[in-house]
Amino acid sequence: MRRKHLSSLKIYISLILTSIIMSGCWDVMEVNDLAIVIATGIDLIDDEQIEVTFLLYVPNPSGGASGEESGASKNSYSISMTGDTFSDAVMKLESEVPREVFWGHSNIFIFGNELAKNELSKQLDFLVRTGEPREQAQIYISQDKAKVEVNKFVSINTAELFSKIPKSRYLKSITLKDTEEMLVNNSQAGLIPISDTNSIKTSEETIDSFAVKGSAIIYQGKMISSISGEKDIGSQWLLFPKTIIPITINPSGENGKVTVETSKKSNKVTPFIEKEKWRIKLTVNSDLVILQNSTNLDIYNASVMNQLEKEFSKKIKGDIENFLNHIQKDLRADVLQFYEAFHRSYPKETDGVKENWEEQYENIEVSVQVKVNIKNPGVTKS
């Protein structure tokens, strides 16, 4: 009798435990019930309203949304909504979508140019506070309106495209986490890549693809300037260590050109205070790989290689100094976090100039030292 009672008790306990485990799936959302956010555009429009544009991927499209939509292609479509703030527009937009809006695959946020110039940090506050967007989502600033840019991506395989952007070693990228840290540090300055589109012609149609063209300089929560060309290349040496940079020079006395790309690069910031003089030593090291040699130079000759390394070092140093002069003298924006570097080594002295850091920063003497090593001259000998 006792054994029978124990056996029944074991069965009851097993049933209870099983029911507890099975209850963990009660709130699961099926993939076919989701509208997956792939990209988001945020713009400042008339009457200080915020317009948010979602690029959505719908696994099994059925029905639409009652907001303002753009034409769909396959499983992707975009929808826009306005509100008093970023969060207000998002809440209104989500109420218009007949599916559960899922942010887990939101790889990119694009802020319109006008918004970035006026209230970037105010609208970023929503992304920082809410737990839905991923910290590794990419942040960009559009050349013009973010809505226009996002709508162009409806016709392509957006899910695949935006998932590959963070992995590209040729595209500059900055994450939501990086942006948050940039806005709260003492310098309150940094760079955010500027996004745009490139038209690609196929045998059947012309489509738009994602591109990065320059960088926006952020200071005190707003975009104060933008850079491109040599200044932007200079910034990549110091702020985007993982990107691959192509470099071309016309060697002295030669008619042709030599093109290389970086295989590895690093930099070091060393602060000094000597006799009340503030100095920064920037050391940049890089390994280069020759991609093309259209000169008559024998790049397998050691002396020729040494001369090329000197000329590439000079070119790189010039790009870096061009960028430094712009952010330090023209904009007085401590993009490279010199304040943090000095504070780690000289906390007392740095605290003493905190209130007048812009003036102190502008007068810091910066020396740049570049050392390159051409690791691979190429496979064939010309």
Q: What is the mean pLDDT of residues 323-352?
A: 95
Residue 278 is predicted with a pLDDT of 96
The reply to whether 360 and 266 lie within a common domain is yes
Please report whether residue 332 resides in a domain.
yes
Q: What is the mean pLDDT of residues 335-339?
A: 95
Per the CB < 8 A criterion, the answer to whether 126 and 87 are in contact is yes
| Residues in Cβ contact with 219 at an 8 Å cutoff, skipping those fewer than 6 apart | 188, 189, 331, 333
Residue 166 is predicted with a pLDDT of 64
Report pTM.
Answer: 0.83
The reply to whether 95 and 109 lie within a common domain is yes
Higher pLDDT, 209 or 270: 270
The reply to whether 215 and 277 lie within a common domain is no
Residue 56 is predicted with a pLDDT of 85
CB-count exposure of residue 114 (10 Å: 0-12, 13-18, 19+): middle
Q: Which of 173, 207, 227 is the last residue of a domain?
A: 227
Residue 102 domain boundaries:
30-227
Residue 23 is predicted with a pLDDT of 54
- Strands, E assignment, 275-361: 277-293
Please tell me the total number of residues recorded for the chain in this structure.
382
The reply to whether 339 and 222 lie within a common domain is no
pLDDT at 182 over 50: yes
Token code pair at residue 370: 């570049």
The reply to whether 207 and 267 lie within a common domain is no
Q: Which residue has the tokens 């996002």?
A: 150
What tens digit of pLDDT does each residue of 208-249 get? 777 888 999 999 999 999 998 889 999 999 998 888 999 999
CA-closest candidate to residue 183, choices 97, 122, 129: 122
The reply to whether 296 and 377 lie within a common domain is yes
When divided into structural domains, the chain yields a total of 2
What tens digit of pLDDT does each residue of 284-314 get? 999 999 999 999 999 888 999 999 999 999 9
Q: Which residue has the tokens 């506050």?
A: 125
The reply to whether 121 and 235 lie within a common domain is no
pLDDT at 168 over 50: yes
The answer to whether the Cα torsion of 321, 322, 327, 329 is positive or negative is positive
The reply to whether 275 and 377 lie within a common domain is yes
Q: Which of 180, 206, 227 is the last residue of a domain?
A: 227
Higher pLDDT, 280 or 212: 280
The reply to whether 78 and 168 lie within a common domain is yes
Per the CB < 8 A criterion, the answer to whether 102 and 35 are in contact is yes
Q: Which of 209, 227, 245 is the last residue of a domain?
A: 227
What tens digit of pLDDT does each residue of 93-150 get? 888 887 888 877 778 899 999 999 999 999 998 888 877 777 888 899 998 899 988 8
d(CA 197, CA 140): 12
Residue 150 is predicted with a pLDDT of 87
The reply to whether 72 and 190 lie within a common domain is yes
Higher pLDDT, 193 or 379: 193
Amino acid at 15: L
Token code pair at residue 350: 């740095």
The reply to whether 377 and 267 lie within a common domain is yes
pLDDT at 69 over 60: no
The reply to whether 64 and 205 lie within a common domain is yes
- Strands, E assignment, the chain: 34-44, 50-57, 68-69, 76-83, 100-102, 108-111, 138-142, 189-201, 206-219, 222-227, 246-249, 258-274, 277-293, 365-376
Please report whether residue 1 resides in a domain.
no
